[in-house]
Structure formats: C-alpha cells, structure tokens
Amino acid sequence: MAAPNFWDNQEKAQGLIAEMQRINAVVRPMEELLQGADDIGVLLEFDADDDSGELEGEIRTATETLRTQLDAAELQASMKNPEDAGNAYLQIQAGEGGTDSADFAEMLMRMYIRWCDNRGFQLEEIDRSDGEEAGIRNVTLLVKGDYAFGFLKGETGNHRLIRISPFDSAGRRHTAFAAVDVTPDMGDAADIEIDWENDVREDVYRAGGAGGQHVNKTSSAVRLTHLPTGVVAACQNERSQHQNRALAQKMLVAKMYQMEQDRRAQATAARRGEKSKIGFGGQTIRHYVLQPQQFVKDDRTDLKQSNPLEVLAGELDPFIDAYLRWSIAK
C-alpha cells in the first residue's frame, strides 16, 4: 500500500485493501486475547503479593472481558470458508399470506437494516418490488462488511409471523410467511462457468420507485434467469442498463456458487429460499409470534425468546450466535 503506484489500478487496490481488512479481522482479535491474558497474568502476580484483596474485583472484570472476547473469536473462527469473510446478498420474498406476507417481508427488511446499522455494516438496495396494498413482494440488499455472509448465512429459509392482522377489519389472527435467501458476494473469485449466450435469458424493464427521471423513463432494469436451474437475479438500482446488467451477472454468479456449495455438502434444494415452498407445508426455520403469546423461536437451535418486538427491531445477535454454535456442533 505504501508503493507510489498502488492506486494506479483502483480495482486491484480496493481488492488488496479488502484482503488486508479480512486478515486484520482475524489477527486483531488474537492479539487482543493474548494481551488480555498477559494483563491477567500480571494482575495475578500482583495479587499474590497483596493480602488486601483489592485486586480481586479487577481480576474478575478482566476475566469476564477476556471470556467475552474469546466467545466472539470462537464464533469468528467457525466462519472458516472463504466466502464467510466477505459481503452478502440478502433477498427477502413474501410468501403465503397476501398483504400480511408483504407487510411481514418489509418487517424483516427493517429488522436486518437495523441489525446492520448496529453492526456497522453498509447496505445497498439492489432490487425491490412493492406490494399492492402495503409492504414489499421482494427486495434484494447488498450487505457490506467483514464476515457479513458468515453472520447472515443462517438466516436462509422460511420465516413465519403469527399476529392479529392490521389488515383484517374483524381483528382475526393471521399467519404470514416470507423467505430469506443469503448468498455470498464472491466478486471475481467464484470459479463458476455460465454459458451467458445459451443458458441465460435477459429481460429489461422500467425500474420502479424513486430513482430519478432517467431511471423511471427508460428500460434500465435488468432481470437475468438461468434457464437450467431457474435461478433469477435482478437489479434496478443503477442508472444505466449496462451497470444493472453487470451487477445482475455478479449476483447470478454468487447464487450459482452457493448452489454448488450446497450440492457439494449434499444440501437439499429446499434449503434455498427460492426453491422451497414459502408457506404451509414448507420448512420454517423461525417463528415470530405476537398473539396470543409473544415469543420468537428458532426450530434449528430451539432458542426461544419472549421479546419479539425487540428482535424485529434488530436484536438478532442471540439467534445468529446460537445458529453459529449449533452449526459447529453438528
């Protein structure tokens, strides 16, 4: 980075900086653990020569801090695959439940946005389709940050909401479903071959929502469909069709890469959000119950908490940590 011609190739320079950040994300916690252990060792030596016991409280505090740091390092060490360290595409799709499912999909989007804000991750909206009355039918977000995919990969699957519907004049309880699909942003590192001419269908259309006069008046949005698998990637965020096509191609490669990883791990097609039924009869990973009881329960880890409103406000860390520990023990 100190070389005078480092910034001559912007793309390569940014890639090297990202690699340095990923390495620091591994090295720095190890250095902090070693320093914390040394500090406790010094405190113990002082305490051995001090009969007053005044250092015992400081030793307990330092030990608890070190234990917290060790837990975090253990979780990070569980994210050992190359794709875990990078950015992630997060797609949310409304399922069975009509307007309630579209509203639930938007609730999940807000939940992940707030969780990302708490984590210091950056977000970019790639594609979005609003519901007819309320909420969203689907949205794709690019989450940028160290280990974004590693933390979010366990969110893939069907999510279920049970509540008194605000769209039902009779005040009845409704069940709504939404699917979350998380794929890694591999950049140019994904070793996936796609026959773009024969296996991919491209559709162009006008972007929806606020995007400026140019975006909304021209067919700049691009949707790519991989015909052999049915995998779809769409982008309408950029101003030009060329930029949207390039990003959609990048997303399609990421999805194909994740499918290949699942195949190698003998994962079933139903694990992917787009390939499973988003409703009754589909495999649900998490339940958000607001009435008559109030709780959130993850079917994989059996973690159950009685604070659904806080979870929907972005307090996701207990469920993400529980999944990562569960995946280690599998």
| Cα–Cα distance for residue pair 274/92, rounded to 1 Å | 10
Full pLDDT tens readout for the chain, 330 residues: 889 999 999 888 887 887 887 788 778 889 999 999 999 999 999 888 887 878 888 999 999 999 988 988 888 777 878 788 889 999 999 998 889 999 999 999 999 999 999 999 999 998 898 888 899 999 999 999 888 999 999 999 999 999 999 988 888 899 999 999 998 887 655 567 788 888 899 888 877 654 444 445 567 888 899 988 888 888 887 778 888 888 888 888 888 887 777 776 554 344 444 445 566 656 899 999 998 899 999 999 999 999 999 999 999 999 999 999 888 776
Question: Residue 261's pLDDT is what?
Answer: 72
Helix (H, G, I), strand (E, B) or coil at 263: helix
Element (H, E) at 31: helix 10-48
Q: Which fold has domain 200-264?
A: Double Stranded RNA Binding Domain (3.30.160)
Q: Which amino acid is at 63?
A: T
pTM: 0.71
For 190, other C-beta atoms within 10 Å of its C-beta total 17
| Cα–Cα distance for residue pair 185/158, rounded to 1 Å | 21
At the second CATH level, the architecture of 84-190+272-329 is 2-Layer Sandwich (3.30)
Sign of the torsion formed by the C-alpha atoms of 251, 257, 259 and 265:
negative
Helix (H, G, I), strand (E, B) or coil at 80: coil
- Break the chain into its structural domains and give their ranges: 6-78, 84-190+272-329, 200-264
Q: Write the DSSP string, 44-62.
A: HHHHHT-TT-TTHHHHHHH
